[in-house]
Structure 1
Amino acid sequence: MERMLESEMERYQKETVSISIQNLTSDNYMVRLKDGIPETFQTIFPSSQPVASEHKTMITYDVFPQRRGKFLIDSLYLRFKSKLGLWERQITYNLPTEVKVIPNLSEAKRYLASAQNYLLHEGIKIRKMRSGGVGEFSKVRSYVVGDDPRKINWRQSAKLQEMMTNEYEPEHGKYVTILIDCGRMMGVELKEGNRLEKTIEAAITLATAALHNGDHIAVIAFSKEIKAVVPAGRGLEHLDIILQTIYAIQVDAQESNYALALQHAQSIQHKRSMMLLFSDVQTFVNEDHHLFYLKKLRKKHLFVMMGIEDQLLHQKIKMKPSNAILAMEKSVAQKQYLHQKQVMKKWEKHGLPMLEAPADRLAVTTVSHYIETLNRGML
C-alpha cells in the first residue's frame, strides 16, 4: 500500500488523495478502505473497489480541508473479502504523512490573474502616477491627448520627429506592516469560518498585491502576547515565508494587547510604513487610551484599521419591528451603530482611519485602500 497526496493543501479547496494497491496474489479481490484522515477533512471513502491479481491498482478519493494547521495522517485500513464472500479480513498499514493546510488563496490568485479587474467593482483604478507627482521612470511612449505637457521628452521628440512623453509609475520599495489580531473577538463565527480566517485571507491578498508591486511586507500576529513575526521582505518568494509562519495561528481566548503589538511593530520597522491593523473595530474604539499612543505613531507611520462588519447588528437595524421587543432591539442596535460611527469619525480626524467591510469583501476593500493610498502618494 502507498498513499500519495500533496504536502500542502488550501482550506476549502478540493484535493485528491491516491492510494496505490499492489496485489501480489493470484486472486482477484473486492476491497474497501478507510484512511486516517482528520475529522476536520470532509471526505467520502471509496467502497467495493476491484483489485486484479498480480496488478497495481490506483484508488482515489477527494478531501475538503476545513481547518488550517499541521495534521498527521497515519493509519490506513484495508478490508477484502474471500472469493465466496464468507469472510472478510482487515489489514492496518502505518503510513505516516504530514499535511499542512494553508489559508485559502483564491483572492490572491484572482489579484495576480488581473489586478485591475479585481479592483473594478470597487471603482479603483491602478494609476501609473498622479499628475505632477514624483515616481520612478518607466518608459518613453507616444504622446496622447490628456498627458501632462510637463512630461514631454523633447530630446526623443526631436530625434523621432514625433511628440514623445515620459511615463512614470509610483516608487517601489514602500514598507507595509500587517498586524493580525488573534484575540477573543476574532473567534466570532461567520457563515464560513470565523473572523480570523477571513482576516488571514485578506492579509495574504494584501501581501500579494504589495509584493507584486515591489514593496516590503512585514507581518505580526498577536493576542495577549506576540504569536508570530515575519520581518520585512520583498519579492513574491517572501509570500511563502509569510504563509509558512502564519498558516497555523489560531484564536486565543484572551483579550488582545494592542500596545504591545504596536510597540513591537515600531521596534522592527524604523522606516515610514503603512501599518494596517486587522481587528474588531467595536472593541478597539471603546478603549480610548489607545488614541494617545496612536497619535504619536501617526507622526511617523500611516495607520489604518480594517474590521469585519457585524452582520447581526445590521440585520437588527434593517428589520421591521412587529412588536415592542423587536422595536427595542432595533433602537438599541441603531444607538450602538451611531455611537460607533461617531467614535470612528473622531479617530479619523486625528488621521487614524478605520474601515469596515462585509466578510466576503474584506480582501478587495483592503487592497483597494492600499492602491488608493499609493495613487494619492500618501505613503
Structure 2
Amino acid sequence: MKALYFSLRFWLALIGLVLLFVAAYALPFLFPVARIALFVFVALCLIEGVILFRHRKGIFARRDVTDRLSNGDENPVTIYLENRYTLPVYLEIIDEIPFQFQRRDVLFRAGLKPNETKAIRYELRPTRRGEYSFGAVNVYAMSPLQLVKRRYQFSQDKQVAVYPSYLQMRQYELLAATNRLSELGIKRVRRLGHSMEFEQVRPYTRGDDVRTMNWKATARRSGARGTDLMVNAYQDERSQAVYCLIDKGRMMKSPFEGLTLLDYAINASLVLSNIALLKQDRAGLLTFSNRIGQLLPAERRPGHMLKILELLYRQKTRFLESDYEALYATVRAHIRQRSLLLLFTNFETVNGLHRQLPFLRRLAKDHLLLVIFFENTEMAALLNQPATNTEDVYQKTIAEKFAYEKKQIVKELQQYGIQTILTAPRNLTANTINKYLELKARGMI
C-alpha cells in the first residue's frame, strides 16, 4: 500500500462525484446517475490498480551520474527509463538531488509505449566542494486512465564528490592539444626572441628566420649538388618551476555568481597547472592563510595532476587575515630555484596592500612574482547604472573610490616590478593562462 498514490484526475473526479450527490438531494432524479457514476469510478480505479500492481517490476529506472562532479560547471545527469508493461504508461519522475542545490523543480513527465526506453537528461551546477548525497529516483506510473499511481524507487543513496573544475581543465587541455585555445580567449603571443635552449640543426624551409642560419653546418653540407642551407632549431625552455600560491584568508570568502573567490582561484590553479605540465614545465602548489597550509613541490611525474587535484579538493577558507610573513619564510626555505609564483589573493584597499607589500617585494627579489586579484563585478555593475536620487549618488561615489583604489594597487605593484592581473572572477582562468604564456614567450621565467 505504500506504493499506492492517487493522481490529480482522481481527486477531481471524486470532487465531481461529491457535487453530484449533493445536487441529488435537491434533484432526486440525479441520485441513480450519481450511484452509477460512483460504481463506474470505483471499478475503473480497481482495474487500473490491478493493471499496475500485477507486474512486480513493470518499470525500470536508473540514474547515471559520475562519481565526481566538477565545481562551478554544468554536470550532466541522465535518468534511463524502461517500460516493461504490455500497455502504454504515463510517468512522473522526481529525482531526489542533494540538498546543497536547493532545488525543488527536478520533476519530469514522460509517456512510454510497451517495451519502450527513454533517457531524460538534465544538468546540475554545484558551487561548493565536498561530499554530496543523492536520494532515490521516484517514478510514479499510471495507465492510460491516469487515476491511480504506483511508485517505484531506484538508485538510492548515491554518494558523489564535488572536485575543482576538472571539466574546465579537460576543455583547455583539448584545445591546447589542437592549437585552438583562442576559442576560450587565449591570445597568441608574438615571440620577442629565441629561447636559449638549443634543440637541433635541420634543413632550411621557407618561412624560417634567416637569423637562425648555421653557416658552418651549411658549409659542411655544400657539395657538387649545390648548397643545402641549415638552420638552428630552438625549443621553449622546459622544466621551469611554476607555483600557484593560494590565499585562503577571509578576503577570499567573497561570493561571486555562486562561487567564492577561493573556488575561482582553485579552478584556475588546476587548469594552469595542467597547461604548465603540457608545456613541459613543473607545477607546484602552496596554500596559506593565518598559517601555512599544504606545500606540493613542483614536479612533472606521472600522476602529479592527480595529487594536485586531491590537494585542491581539500582546501577550505579560513576567516582570519593571511600571514604573508609566514608565506615568505616558507617560500624562502623550500623553493630555492628561481620560479614563477602566481599569487591568488585579493586586496580591497591600498592600505591593505601596504601591510603586505614588504613581503611581496622580498618574494619578487628571488622569483618572478605574479599577483592576481579580483575586480568587484557587482560594484562595476553599480557604476554603470544611472543615479536617480541622492542615495544613488552616495553609493556610486563610494563605488568609484573602491574601483580607483584597485587601479592604484595595480600601479603600486608595477612600480616595484611585480607583475599583476586585475580580473573579473569569471575571466580569471583565461587571463591567468594568457599572462603565463606571455611571460614564457618573453623568456622572463
Report the TM-score, using the length of structure 1 for normalisation: 0.81
- Residue 163 of structure 2: which of 98, 102, 108 is its match? 102
8 Å contact from structure 2 (residues 245, 344) kept in 1: yes
8 Å contact from structure 2 (residues 92, 109) kept in 1: yes
- Map 1:147-296 → 2, pairs under 5 A: 147=209, 149=211, 151-152=213-214, 154-156=216-218, 158-159=220-221, 161-191=227-257, 193-226=259-292, 228-234=294-300, 237-247=303-313, 249-282=315-348, 286-296=352-362
What CA distance in whole angstroms lies between the structure 2 residues aligned with 1:325 and 1:20?
56
Q: Where does residue 130 of structure 1 map in the other structure?
A: 193
Structure having greater relative contact order (Cα 8 Å, sep ≥ 6): 1
Q: Single out whichever of 356-365 and 189-198 deviates more from structure 2.
A: 189-198
CA drift of 1:39 comes to 3.5
Unaligned runs of 5+ in 1: none
What SS does structure 1 have at the residue aligned with 2:193?
Answer: coil
- 1:87–1:212 Cα change, 3 Å: same
Identity within the alignment, %: 21
What CA distance in whole angstroms lies between the structure 1 residues aligned with 2:164 and 2:357?
32
How far does the alpha carbon of each residue in 1:103-147 deviate from its partner, in whole angstroms, 9 at most, with x for none?
A: 4433762464147653596654164x724x412415624165772
What CA distance in whole angstroms lies between the structure 1 residues aligned with 2:387 and 2:82?
63
Q: Single out whichever of 63-72 and 175-184 deviates more from structure 2.
A: 63-72
Q: Where does residue 73 of structure 2 map in the other structure?
A: 12
Alignment of 1:303 with 2:303, yes or no, is no
Which amino acid in structure 2 is aligned with residue 125 of structure 1? V
- 1:324–1:98 Cα change, 3 Å: closer
What CA distance in whole angstroms lies between the structure 1 residues aligned with 2:174 and 2:414?
31
Q: Where does residue 151 of structure 2 map in the other structure?
A: 90
8 Å contact from structure 2 (residues 343, 371) kept in 1: yes
Runs of 4+ aligned residues of structure 1 deviating over 6 Å after TM superposition are: 25-28
Which amino acid in structure 2 is aligned with residue 50 of structure 1? L
How far does the alpha carbon of each residue in 1:83-119 deviate from its partner, in whole angstroms, 9 at most, with x for none?
A: 8655433344563322233344337624641476535
8 Å contact from structure 2 (residues 172, 181) kept in 1: yes
- 1:264–1:329 Cα change, 3 Å: same
- 1:80–1:220 Cα change, 3 Å: same
Question: How many pairs are equivalent?
Answer: 374
CA drift of 1:214 comes to 0.7
CA drift of 1:216 comes to 0.8
- CA RMSD, aligned part only? 3.6
Report the TM-score, using the length of structure 2 for normalisation: 0.70
CA drift of 1:256 comes to 3.0
Q: Where does residue 46 of structure 2 map in the other structure?
A: none
- 1:82–1:346 Cα change, 3 Å: closer
How far does the alpha carbon of each residue in 1:172-230 deviate from its partner, in whole angstroms, 9 at most, with x for none?
A: 00001102223333233324534333323322232122111011111233434455544
Q: Where does residue 440 of structure 2 map in the other structure?
A: 374
Unaligned runs of 5+ in 2: 1-59
What CA distance in whole angstroms lies between the structure 2 residues aligned with 1:33 and 1:145?
62
CA drift of 1:363 comes to 1.6
What CA distance in whole angstroms lies between the structure 1 residues aligned with 2:81 and 2:386?
59
What CA distance in whole angstroms lies between the structure 2 residues aligned with 1:319 and 1:74?
44
CA drift of 1:152 comes to 1.9
What CA distance in whole angstroms lies between the structure 2 residues aligned with 1:357 and 1:97?
38
CA drift of 1:370 comes to 1.1
Larger Rg: 2
What CA distance in whole angstroms lies between the structure 2 residues aligned with 1:71 and 1:313?
33
Larger helix percent: 2
What SS does structure 2 have at the residue aligned with 1:46?
Answer: strand
8 Å contact from structure 1 (residues 152, 164) kept in 2: yes
CA drift of 1:348 comes to 2.5
Q: Where does residue 73 of structure 1 map in the other structure?
A: 134
What CA distance in whole angstroms lies between the structure 2 residues aligned with 1:349 and 1:100?
44
